[in-house]
Structure 1
């Protein structure tokens, strides 16, 4: 926690979250993601990220969806480290909000 009482979020927190999520994926998909995250795949990763983000913008189309936007941002965060902290904060906010909503339905 910092002086304002907020929890400190670092880029390492985002990297840890991605690692935990990767462990939950099926082996084939995890290998593909690990392959894509290798530093030598930078151009492929950036192109894929931009295509996912572009697809997320057109979420009204059948196959494309809003799910593509965070996937694209997560891929892009490998090459734009400044995205990691905002993505981690967003993930924490979504998790906390989801917990509050589900708790309210259990009452």
Structure 2
């Protein structure tokens, strides 16, 4: 064993719409990206920016904060139950 196994870092990825998107290794940078998406999403009435940025920002932050993660998981369960044929 060469000792490199202990220095490996966990890859942070977001899965959305069947695709995976890599996130930065830095926790502070991930939080900053999530907050920036939410703030710019609030300016969604402007060209280029859009309200779509708010859920993306919440998705990024859900990997850092348990409260947001809990709501994301509840939404995923609700969505899957709704999509399932009765």
Q: TM-score, normalised by structure 2?
A: 0.63
Runs of 4+ in structure 1 deviating by more than 3 angstroms, as ranges, are: 91-97
Which of these residues, 69, 80, 88, is aligned with residue 73 of structure 2? 88
Distance 1:84 1:48 in 2: 16
Structure with more of its chain in helix, by fraction: 1
Output aligned runs, 1:64-79, within 5 Å. 64-79=49-64
Change (3 A) 1:89 1:44: same
More strand by share: 2
Unaligned runs of 5+ in 1: 1-17
TM-score norm. by structure 1 comes to: 0.53
User: What is the number of residues matched between the two proteins?
Assistant: 73
Structure 2: runs of 5+ lacking an equivalent: 1-12
